[in-house]
Amino acid sequence: MLIALPFAFTAPWVQDLFLFTLMYAALATAWNIIGGYSGYISLGHAGFFGLGAYAMGITFTHISIGDGYRPFFFLPLIGVGVAVASVPIGWVAFRTRGATFAIVTITLLFVTQQLAFNLRSLTGGSQGIAIPTPSFPVSTYNVPFYFGMLGVLALSMLISWWVRGSKLGLALFAIRDDEDRARGLGVQTGFAKLASFALSAGLVAMAGGVWAYYLSFIYPQFAIDPLVTIGMVLMTYLGGRGTLWGPVLGAFVLVPAQKYLAYRLGASDFYLVGYSGVFLVVILLMPRGILPSLAERWRKLGLRQTHHDERAKEVAAS
Amino acid sequence: MTKRLLAATLTAALAAAVVVAAASTRPTTRAANAPIKIGISLSLSGDFSDPGKAVKRGYELWAAYVNAHGGILGRQVQLKIVNDASDPNQAVSNYQKLITGDHVDLVFGPFSSLLTGPSATVANRYHYAFLEPAGGGPKVFALKLHNLFFVQPAPVVKCGDSFVRYLKTLPAAQRPKTASYASLDDPFSSPIADAMQQQLSSGLHVKTVYKTIYPAETTDLTPIVAKEIAPKPDMIIGGTQSEDAYSQVKGLVQAGYSPKFLFFSNGANSPTEFPSKVGRKNVNGIFSCSDWTPVAKTNGNKLFVSQYVKKYGGTGFDIDNNSSEAWAVGQLLQLAVAKTGSIDNQKIIDTLHKGAWPTIEGNLSWDANGSPSGDDLLVEWINGKLLPVYPPGVAVAKPFSPKPPWGG
Amino acid sequence: MHLFVQACILGLLTGGVYALMASGLALGFGVMRVINVAQGALIILGAYLSYSLYGHLGIDPFVGLLILTPAMFVLGVLVQLAFLRPLRDEEREELSLLVTWAIALGIEGLLSVAYQTTYRSTITSYADQSWHVSGYYISVARVYAFVASIVVLGLLFGILQLTKLGRGIRATVQNPTAARLIGIDTRMVSAVGFGLSVATASAAGAVYGIVFPFNPGSHYDLISRLLTIVVLGGLGSLGGAVIAALFMGVGESVFATEISPTWSSFLFFVVLIAVLVVRPQGLFGARVRGSI
């Protein structure tokens, strides 16, 4: 929990960069709860992000934003709301497994996007929703949003950490290893899956809420964007699927890199190719991600060292 | 052990980010002869890359011309263009960086209302004037930003008004009695058709026999065409972008149905692409609306066209409207600064809100929210050429109706 | 009524093209247990290549198929060898999704650089023509597309049923271990099977490009429909995919015409969800332990 400190960087654009980094770190951590711990790869989580964003948007076209801090207090409500809404969705999806599950979640993502486009009276359709901007002082405008996102990240990590140590976590890991055996042993697989799904959906939605408020504009194709899912998944895989800090690491590496490249390299459609390349490299060469691979390397080094010491002792003793 | 490793890695990543931040922050020079820096975020990749690049050409062409002719207030103009990959997140980050990191003197707008809205909000926070070429959707003006100026004669939603007024000039017997409306669901297309439908049904008593709005990614418009022609309407109005306009025309040709009046808010106003996509022999008599044409008699238009053709080749009709809109933004800035004598953003904002400003896009003036108070041009395809036909003051040819059959 | 029949005709023609596209996807899953999310992108790649062959060399898209299909077959085999074979068996299903998604993005990026993002279509001389038959109009291009799709599908079925290779593929789909036991080189069969699925993608793309406008981003739209069709038909069932495709083609067209164009693509998803709730293995899929 080292970096969770307020920043001495007053340049708004730097704060903006970190805000997005924190956002993806939160998203990846939340995704990890279902994708990493249980092994069920949900490719539709961007849909929940969008739901959170729209929830924020729709609420504040009807209520005023008060002193500007009110939307932040609505976040937990949005989180819980989307988590509850995700249960029936999860129930349908969990009737399948493996690749079919992933396909179903992709489909749900597109369904959500279509709904956002088509339910014009509610969502504004393709014209989107505009959220009123708060009158925070200009020089520190980004700071409240930064802390909002930091809060979501902290909550995500807290929940992720708690799940790991709890019975729920044990159940999830058991499911990842061999679901049918777990079920045979009496593990409540159905409940575990739904619970982790709901938790992760709620957290993702909260991140979406902060994002919507920050950007102050919500359009369907950007709020519900398959590339957001890919981002979450890629960062989790990069950092280490199933670990606590892996997703955060993945985000801290990829988000600044992507923003920097987009800003500096200018006119280049190569960024999709670049994304694709990174993804392929990660999955084919480092499927367990940075943290586990490094940890294993370290352990092997340690083992070799111990072995070396023992041999040395043996030689010395003889 | 792993935790320490993690800490190290994260610190390294942070340090890298800090270095990036520091390296990109340049100190401001206030020297009198230092170049004027104008920051712009453009869509050079992604969905909007083609119009984005057209906007870039317009901005760069203008900057080159201005610099070759004394600059602005004796200072050279330096454009700093960054790519937003057609993503509003990136556009917001870009303008934040340009204004607070690179400390540019001025900013110009990006492409598309989708990106203009969030970007203008950022600019407004820092009290920068926001002259923009391509954000004319209703949501942009709903932001009520005093610093925003849409550099086109009319807000997008009023594009079809000239057509309605033209219809009013026809004797009653020749006017259309029934109409089908088929529009694309996006912030610019369906609002135009909706506005026209309102005026046509109340002012001209044109009966709506079919109306639909189809989703953005619809590639197959044949079912919709089948339905819109079923009641045999006199007139078909399409609130469209380009692809769906082409699809509708092709669908109508295949179905063998030629209405007396055919209007598309976009697609049919593209001088070179439209005939190549739907067939040269199918274009005559189709109406559309446009903010600019190469033959319009507006201030500096001949100069712009000749400069563009000199640099990029082709003819005036190959020029994408986005380039002309971008040039007009620069031209407008020049005119404003000539009046204020300084590049102070607040002075520019105040001065532009008064009076009318003659640009290649026409004589422009705005309301308090940046919405222009003029009218777009009605254009029609006559003998294979796209010409402005209404209002009479700027028309180059006379409009004709009804539309000839396909292939004629 | 007239409109309904017209819609059915249109839907059937479109469904035929979907069937060709979906068959490749089903085959890929069958032989390798790989969900090839890049199928959409490969189809679009085929469309672009066909477009270029026609635009630069004047080769009619249907003729161009003769060049394109073998070339894409080779590409498919290479992709399989480079990216899919290295995946370990247990995780292959899920990881293949991610790997092929990455490939799809890569293809989209390359196409954007090469062709920009404007919409293209292969406009042949018969693109505008239509036949008028007893009050209904039938687009010539769509009929050609439908016929071509049926022909290629027929070829595919022919290979699968009549050749030794085809029998090897079918055996591998049914039971890879048993297939290996009787001496079938399942690795080669997988590579070939995948190559075939990519080859069909290119044919489908060439055909698609004549009827519909496309740009590099179009693959999302395609793949979401194809995935629905394949799951509906039952993963691994080729025949199921074809039937599901025809069904969805007609369904979508009728829905768009009679009820609402806005919600017609939504129909796909509703049907999918409904099927999954009632019969998760799809219409013709097998209930296999631990997979579906």
The answer to whether B50 contacts C130, with C-beta atoms less than 8 Å apart, is: no
In chain B, the residue whose alpha carbon lies closest to the alpha carbon of A14 is B21
CB C117 within 8 A of CB A283: no
Q: pLDDT tens for residues C100-138?
A: 888 898 898 888 888 877 788 887 777 777 788 877 778
Tokens of C141: 């291009």
Q: pLDDT tens for residues A133-160?
A: 887 877 778 878 888 888 898 899 899 9
The answer to whether C212 contacts B243, with C-beta atoms less than 8 Å apart, is: no
Q: How many CB pairs under 8 A join A and B?
A: 132
In this structure, which topology does domain A12-287 adopt according to CATH?
A: ABC transporter involved in vitamin B12 uptake, BtuC (1.10.3470)
How confident is the model over B358-382, as a mean pLDDT? 93
Q: Is C236 left (phi over 0), alpha (psi -120 to 50) or beta?
A: left
Q: How far is it, in rounded angstroms, from Cα C207 to Cα C211? A: 7
Our CA-based measurement puts residue A73 at a distance from the nearest CA of chain B, in whole angstroms, of: 23
Quick one: DSSP state of residue C182? T
Chain C CB contacts of A270 below 8 Å: 109, 113
In chain C, the residue whose alpha carbon lies closest to the alpha carbon of B282 is C128
The answer to whether C119 contacts B243, with C-beta atoms less than 8 Å apart, is: yes
pLDDT of B207 higher than 70 = yes
Could you name the CATH architecture of B13-152+298-364? 3-Layer(aba) Sandwich (3.40)
Could you name the CATH architecture of B158-291+377-390? 3-Layer(aba) Sandwich (3.40)
ipTM of the complex: 0.77
Our CA-based measurement puts residue A73 at a distance from the nearest CA of chain C, in whole angstroms, of: 34
Residues 6+ apart with CB under 8 A from C109: A269, A270, A271, A272, A273, A274, A275, A276, C216
Chain A CB contacts of C231 below 8 Å: 100, 103-104
How confident is the model over B80-86, as a mean pLDDT? 89
pLDDT of C3 higher than 70 = yes
CB C263 within 8 A of CB C206: no
For B218, the closest of C117, C123, C261 (CB atoms) is C261
How confident is the model over A272-300, as a mean pLDDT? 77
Our CA-based measurement puts residue B174 at a distance from the nearest CA of chain A, in whole angstroms, of: 36
Q: Please give the helix or strand (H or E) that residue B235 lies within, else none.
A: strand B235-239
Does A270 contact chain C (CB < 8 Å)? yes
Q: What pTM was estimated for this model as a whole?
A: 0.82
Domain borders along chain B are 13-152+298-364, 158-291+377-390
Chain C CB contacts of B243 below 8 Å: 119, 213
In chain A, the residue whose alpha carbon lies closest to the alpha carbon of B7 is A2
Q: Is the peptide bond before B402 cis (omega within 30 degrees of 0)?
A: yes
Q: How confident is the model at residue B376 (pLDDT cuts 50, 70, 90)?
A: very high
In chain B, the residue whose alpha carbon lies closest to the alpha carbon of A249 is B10
Chain B CB contacts of A126 below 8 Å: 185-187, 216
Output the CA–CA distances (angstroms, integers) from residue B48 to A82, A227, B44, B264, in the order listed: 32, 17, 7, 21
Q: What percent of chain A has pLDDT over 90?
A: 18
Domain assignment present for residue C238? The answer is no
Residue A161's identity, in one-letter code, is: W
Closest C-alpha among A172, A180, A191 to residue A38:
A172
How confident is the model over B366-384, as a mean pLDDT? 93
pLDDT of residue B32: 60
Domain assignment present for residue C262? The answer is no
Domain count, chain C: 1
Residues 6+ apart with CB under 8 A from A236: A28, A31, A32, A35, A36, A246, A247, A250, A289
Our CA-based measurement puts residue B403 at a distance from the nearest CA of chain A, in whole angstroms, of: 32
Domain assignment present for residue C90? The answer is yes
Chain C CB contacts of B238 below 8 Å: none
The answer to whether C94 contacts A269, with C-beta atoms less than 8 Å apart, is: no
Residue C49: CB atoms within 10 A of its CB come to 20
pLDDT of A312 higher than 70 = no
In chain A, the residue whose alpha carbon lies closest to the alpha carbon of B56 is A267
Q: How many CB pairs under 8 A join B and C?
A: 72
Does A226 contact chain B (CB < 8 Å)? no
Our CA-based measurement puts residue B7 at a distance from the nearest CA of chain C, in whole angstroms, of: 29
What's the domain range around C29?
2-223
CB A45 within 8 A of CB A171: no
CB B150 within 8 A of CB B371: yes
Domain assignment present for residue C291? The answer is no
Q: Please give the helix or strand (H or E) that residue B146 lies within, else none.
A: none
Three-class SS state of B308: helix
Top mean pLDDT of B133-137, B235-239, C241-245 is at B235-239
Quick one: DSSP state of residue B72? B
For C220, the closest of A100, A226, A287 (CB atoms) is A226
The answer to whether A275 contacts C99, with C-beta atoms less than 8 Å apart, is: no
Residue B217: CB atoms within 10 A of its CB come to 17
The answer to whether C231 contacts A272, with C-beta atoms less than 8 Å apart, is: no
Chain A CB contacts of B2 below 8 Å: 291, 294-295, 298
Domain borders along chain A are 12-287
pLDDT of residue C42: 93
Does A119 contact chain C (CB < 8 Å)? no
pLDDT of A2 higher than 50 = no
Cα dihedral C22→C26→C28→C30 (10° resolution) = -170
Q: pLDDT tens for residues B321-356?
A: 999 999 999 999 999 999 999 999 999 999 999 999
Quick one: DSSP state of residue A243? -
Beta-strand (E) ranges in C85-129?
none
Q: Specify the range with the lowest mean pLDDT, choosing from A71-80, C18-27, C177-186.
A: C177-186
CB B53 within 8 A of CB B80: no
Mutation site, A91, A100, A104, A279, interface C, largest C CB count within 10 A: A100
Domain assignment present for residue C48? The answer is yes
For C261, the closest of B224, B243, B256 (CB atoms) is B224
How confident is the model over B71-78, as a mean pLDDT? 93
Mutation site, C18, C119, C131, interface B, largest B CB count within 10 A: C119
pLDDT of residue B380: 95
Output the CA–CA distances (angstroms, integers) from residue B302 to A221, B271, B381, B385, C89, in the order listed: 40, 17, 22, 18, 68
CB C145 within 8 A of CB C210: yes
pLDDT of residue B21: 46
CB C34 within 8 A of CB C100: yes
The answer to whether C119 contacts B250, with C-beta atoms less than 8 Å apart, is: no
Closest C-alpha among C260, B215, C267 to residue A117:
B215
Q: How far is it, in rounded angstroms, from Cα C167 to Cα A84? A: 49
Q: pLDDT tens for residues B142-162?
A: 889 999 999 999 999 999 999
CB C53 within 8 A of CB C61: yes
Residue entry with tokens 């849409």: B150
Subunits with at least 3 CB pairs below 8 A relative to chain A?
Answer: B, C
Q: pLDDT tens for residues C207-218?
A: 888 888 888 888
Q: pLDDT tens for residues B233-244?
A: 999 999 998 889
In chain C, the residue whose alpha carbon lies closest to the alpha carbon of B257 is C137
Our CA-based measurement puts residue B75 at a distance from the nearest CA of chain C, in whole angstroms, of: 36
Q: How far is it, in rounded angstroms, from Cα B230 to Cα B226? A: 6
